[in-house]
Structure 1
Amino acid sequence: HMKDIFKAFQQCSLNNLRVVILGQDPYPQKDVATGIAFANSLDTPEKSYSPSLNILMESVIDFTVPHRRIIFDQSLEKWEAQGVLMLNSARTCELGKPGSHALLWRPFINSFLSNLSMQYTAIVYVLMGSQAQSFEYAIVRNNYVIKAKHPSYYARTKTRMPSDIWKQVNDILININGFGIQWYEES
């Protein structure tokens, strides 16, 4: 929906910004993209999560260790509320055509990352996939950059996304200001 193009910016306050997770482009299927990268709407049942969101969830929670009851917010708005900007390097695409607007959005994302990283130096940037990583040059050196494969790679190859990315982000954040991101809730 057109109203959701800048939703990620509305959900995550600049004063609170601590992490930028950069993906590729919105889900190209009708009524799936929410304006927040990788997210699904709150009314999406877990069995219907998008493959990339499933990969992120499994990586963040790390099901190889025992947990009590887990609450995972598929809208990713709880991440955004903690200062995690979930952004795609293209804010739009044509239905059924991923990457179709990548060049259109490139100057906007480039300028955003460049200006943000010049003004704020304690932000962790997680660049997921080669398209996101092509913006690394726009991020000023005094920032933290973590590169990872795009979750769709793990969905395609039926492999697990390493969970150490989330620990790495939190280790940096704890070093900077004493607390990390709560990626999921456990009750």
Structure 2
Amino acid sequence: DLGISIPNNGERTDWAKQGVLMMNTVLTVRQGQPNSHKGKGWEQLTDAVIKKLNERNVPTAFILWGGNAKAKAPLITNPIHAVFKAAHPSPLSAYNGFFGCRHFSKVNDFLVSNNIQPIDWTISNK
């Protein structure tokens, strides 16, 4: 999307330092069993986090990847925020709409249009 080199790792600390929060709708899972902890209570916590972020009066970009995340869109009601939705980037579904969604550049365009510093999406090689 942005012409950034593919890193040799998935370290995203630099993203977090710029204000990027990455969060699944359910925070734990049994190994190799997607959604195995769905409906066990995590949704109450993650919904509360989304609702709290929605209350902020700072324009915020929400990126919802995958069906579980897209189902959270109704929680984002503040019109100053932007919501971007696509397929999950996992190897099983990335070709169903993640590739080509250009969310990284769209988020930066949204931030710049609101006089907010864009995210440097670069991940440094280790």
- For normalisation by structure 1, the TM-score amounts to 0.56
Specify which of 102, 113, 116 is matched with residue 53 of structure 2: 116
Aligned to 1:134: 71
Q: Does 1:83 align with 2:83?
A: no
Among all aligned residue pairs of Structure 1 and Structure 2, give the percentage whose two residues are the same amino acid: 27
Q: What SS class does the counterpart of residue 85 from structure 1 fall into?
A: coil
Structure with a larger share of its residues in strand: 1
* Structure 1 stretch displaced more, 127-136 or 73-82: 73-82
Alpha-carbon separation, structure 2, partners of 1:79 and 1:150: 19
Q: Does 1:174 align with 2:97?
A: no
- Asked if the contact 2:12/2:123 (under 8 Å) is kept, the reply is no
Q: 1:113 to 1:100 in 2, by over 3 A?
A: same
Q: Which runs of 4+ in 1 moved over 6 A?
A: none
Q: 1:101 to 1:158 in 2, by over 3 A?
A: closer
> Aligned-residue CA RMSD in angstroms?
2.4
- Asked if the contact 1:61/1:184 (under 8 Å) is kept, the reply is no
Q: What SS class does the counterpart of residue 177 from structure 1 fall into?
A: coil
Instruction: State the 1:167 CA deviation.
Output: 1.0
Deviations 1:108-136 (A, max 9, x none): 11111112211344110000011001111
- Asked if the contact 1:171/1:180 (under 8 Å) is kept, the reply is yes
Deviations 1:1-26 (A, max 9, x none): xxxxxxxxxxxxxxxxxxxxxxxxxx
What are the equivalent positions in structure 2 for 1:1-187 lying under 5 Å apart? 59=1, 61=3, 70=5, 72=7, 74-104=10-40, 105-142=42-79, 143-152=81-90, 155-156=91-92, 159=95, 161-162=99-100, 164-184=102-122
Q: What SS class does the counterpart of residue 80 from structure 1 fall into?
A: helix
Gaps of 5+ in 1: 1-58, 63-69
- Asked if the contact 1:60/1:163 (under 8 Å) is kept, the reply is no
Q: 1:129 to 1:71 in 2, by over 3 A?
A: closer
- Asked if the contact 2:62/2:84 (under 8 Å) is kept, the reply is yes
Alpha-carbon separation, structure 2, partners of 1:149 and 1:71: 20
Aligned to 1:24: none
- Asked if the contact 2:59/2:82 (under 8 Å) is kept, the reply is yes
